[in-house]
């Protein structure tokens, strides 16, 4: 019970990311089919994204969009609504992981598209996406080998 309160509950996001990442890595190492390997790669990338975004979470914080232009602030003509008052960083979630993962998602799509294009090209040459069959065809100088 002590272990649960100390290790599992405050750190459940890290458990989730490690488990997801290992599922992806298992698929990348063990699976024979190239498409299944790519699915594993996507799960792996998603685990990293989950890890980064969960790091940027702050208890009780809002999304990192400063609400100076929100109507409720503009209507209350109190000194607190002065647009030049200092912004408390604890009120907003950490923007940095969001920025890094925004680009990581798009790069993930690009790498996935590239990998699918390469596997389509492999399928055109070898008529299979199974790794052992491709290796066997390479060893006997199959149709895909030009040299």
Partner 1 sequence: MKWIGLIAVVLTGALLLSAVGDFPDFGDPKSPANGGVGDFSVSQYYITHTEQDTKVPNVVTAVLADYRGYDTMFETTVIFIAGIGIIAILRSHPPGGRRGPAHPIDATVDGDHQRIIIGITCRIMIPIIQIFALYVVAHGHHSPGGGFQGGVMLGASFILIGLSRDLQAALARFSERRFIVLACLGVAIYAGFGLLCLLLERNFLDYGVLDGFFHTDPVMARSHGIFAVEVGVAFTVTAIMFAIYANLSSKGRLDEGL
Binding site for partner 1 (CB under 8 A): 6-7, 10-15, 18-19, 21-22, 25-26, 29-30, 54-59, 61, 63-69, 83-84, 86-87, 89-90, 92, 94-99, 102-103, 105-107, 109-111, 113-114, 116-118, 120-121, 124
In the bound state with partner 1, the residue whose beta carbon lies nearer, of 10 and 141, is: 10
User: How far is the C-alpha of 63 from the C-alpha of 95, rounded, in Å?
Assistant: 8
Nearest alpha carbon to residue 24 among 3, 45, 6, 9: 45
74: alpha, beta or left, given left = phi > 0 and alpha = psi -120 to 50?
alpha
For residue 28, give the 3-state DSSP assignment: helix
Contact residues for 15 (Cβ-Cβ < 8 A; gap 6+): 8
33 beta partners: 130
Residue 9: CB minimum distance to partner 1, A: 9
Nearest alpha carbon to residue 60 among 23, 35, 20, 89: 89
- Write out the two tokens for 22: 């290992």
């Amino acid at each position: 019970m002590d272990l649960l309160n100390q290790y599992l509950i405050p750190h459940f996001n890290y458990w989730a990311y490690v488990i997801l990442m290992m599922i992806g890595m298992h698929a990348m190492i063990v699976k024979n089919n190239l498409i299944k390997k790519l699915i594993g790669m996507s799960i792996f990338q998603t685990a990293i994204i989950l890890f980064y975004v969960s790091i940027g979470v702050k208890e009780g914080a809002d999304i990192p969009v400063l609400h100076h232009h929100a109507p409720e602030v503009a209507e209350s003509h109190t000194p607190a609504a002065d647009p030049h008052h200092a912004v408390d960083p604890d009120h907003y979630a950490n923007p940095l992981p969001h920025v890094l993962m925004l680009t990581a998602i798009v790069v993930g799509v690009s790498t996935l598209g590239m990998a699918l294009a390469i596997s389509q090209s492999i399928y055109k040459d070898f008529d299979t996406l199974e790794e052992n069959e491709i290796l066997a065809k390479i060893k006997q100088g199959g149709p895909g080998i030009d040299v």
